[in-house]
Amino acid sequence: MSTTVAPSPITRRLPAPDDHVIVLFGATGDLAKRKLFPGLFHLFAAGLMPEEFRIIGSGRHSPGSDDDFREQVRAALAEFGRREVRDEIWEAFSRRLSFTVSSADDGAELADAVREAEEEVGCGTRRLLYLSVPPGAMQPMVRMLGTSGLAAGARLILEKPFGTDLASARELNAVLAEVVEEDQIFRIDHFLGKEAAQNILAFRFANGLFEPAWNRNHIAYVQIDVPEALTVEGRAGFYEQTGAFRDMVVTHLFQLLGFVALEPPVRLTAKALHDEKAKVFEAMRPLRAEHAVFGQYEGYRDEAGIDGASRVETFAALAVRLDTWRWEGVPFLLRTGKALAEGRRSITIGFKEPPLRMFADDGDFAHCQRPNELIFELSDTPQITVDVRAKVPGPTMELGAAALRLDFDDTFPRGSGLEAYERLVLDVMRGDHTLFTRSDEIERLWEVSDPLLRDPPPPQLYPRGSWGPEAANALAAPRGWRLQQRPC
């Protein structure tokens, strides 16, 4: 069965992945509907899927026949896909889809379906298992993959959280080690699959303008700010087990911190990059309550499925310090939360002020305006902005705020950008670990978080649509949070 999809320009520079049988556990869940099936379809339409492949959806409950399952997938593509679903491409894609019931108790029927699909595809077929399952089901599911033989030679994609504390992370890693080798595991963090996140590396190491200034001599602070306007919205069961810190900080925000702070790797390989990122996490000071602010939005306890006395935080802000030569004295300010003023994903590098004031109005201007900042917007339409000060046109030497902006859609109009999950699934099929997370990184991050989790600050109430508890502003003093800039 051959594809009829014409390769894009970027496709021609990439070798096609090996033939695959892909199993999606949780195939009727929200992640599969919103991201995984639209992503796989887009890869197929772009000519980036293997020459031959099968996708087997799996879960406890059958959606009906294979045709019923295909209709569910097509509805998901229509609602969440990034491109038109043309009939001829859909027909070629959909005949590779099927569904098999399985559970953590019994994977025999699924194992038979996988072996049958591999025989159809042919010799040399690789096996990819995507575990989009609740945290409580992860360990039983991994054990089932071992006893059923499904894990043999397979690559496993694991969704966060990778444990809920140091002890559970070590337990999960121990269970995984009983069933698979570390190089078979791909712990996915979709923030690292974003084009803008990868551009942190490109911006740092490909430009002589910025690399020499990437240290404590020139940088005053770093802000990693991921506010969300949404509430928990139907995810009460999950959120009550995790909270904002476990859900976002110890995963996404810490991984972005690692990209910003790592030393130049010897070469841009997965091992070299992970080794340098692990050194960053090793240099992190243990987190304690006095360096953090937790909050809970008003009305959270009234949400369906939430304990009326819940102390789970829906907001977390903290100041992280790294004991390294490069970053001594530079605060890394992290913030995330639900029901905040707006939804954004920004990394801000704040530069130190010039040592001497030369302009007549520079003092008042500097008090009212941000210093020079480099901002990475991690949106689906990424931008990189450098905020500068410039002379306002006119007869007097008056300063004004200006910006140098790199808009990727305008700069690279013929680019073939992939959505984060698309890029990461493609990397797994190609066996590339670069943008994934290693077990020692995970355990170290839980280790530095352990003091804060054992003795967290009490969550402070904040209004919906605000920027969280006022106490969080003190962490970013004197400049404050970029996304919360107040006019003079």
Q: Which residues are annotated as a binding site?
A: 26-33, 60, 160, 190, 194, 228, 247, 338
Q: Which residues pair with 351 in a beta bridge?
A: 219
**Are 297 and 463 contacting, i.e. CB atoms less than 8 angstroms apart?**
yes
Given a contact cutoff of 8 angstroms between Cβ atoms, the answer to whether 383 and 408 are in contact is: yes
Q: Which of 252, 274, 291, 433 is an active site residue?
A: 252
Output phi, psi for 481, to 5 deg. -80, 135
Distance CA 223, CA 254 (A): 12
Q: How far is CA 205 from CA 198, 200, 262, 289, 366, in A?
A: 11, 9, 11, 35, 30
* Bind-site residues for NADP(+): 26-33, 60, 160
Rounded to 10 deg, the angle between the 87-94 and 66-80 helix axes is 140
Our answer to whether residue 252 is catalytic in this structure is yes
The three state secondary structure string of the chain is: CCCCCCCCCCHHHCCCCCCEEEEEECCCCHHHHHHHHHHHHHHHHCCCCCCCEEEEEEECCCCCCHHHHHHHHHHHHHHHCCCCCCHHHHHHHHCCEEEEECCCCCCHHHHHHHHHHHHHHCCCCEEEEEECCCHHHHHHHHHHHHHHCCCCCCEEEECCCCCCCHHHHHHHHHHHHHHCCHHHEEECCHHHHCHHHHHHHHHHHCCCCCHHHCCCCCEEEEEEEEECCCCCCCCHHHHHHHHHHHHHHHHHHHHHHHHHHCCCCCCCCHHHHHHHHHHHHHHECCCCHHHEEEEEECCHHHCCCCCCCCCCCCEEEEEECECCCCCCCCCEEEEEECCECCCCCEEEEEECCCCCCCCCCHHHHHHHCCCCEEEEECCCCCEEEEEEEEECCCCCCCEEEEEEEEEHHHHCCCCCCCCHHHHHHHHHHCCCCCCCECHHHHHHHHHHHHHHHHCCCCCEEECCCECCCCHHHHHCCCCCCHHHCCCC
Q: How many whole angstroms separate alpha carbon 238 and alpha carbon 98?
A: 28
Contact 293, 475 (CB under 8 A): yes
| Sequence ranges of the binding site for substrate | 190, 194, 228, 247, 338
Sign of CA dihedral 303, 305, 309, 311: negative
- The residues carrying an active-site annotation are 252
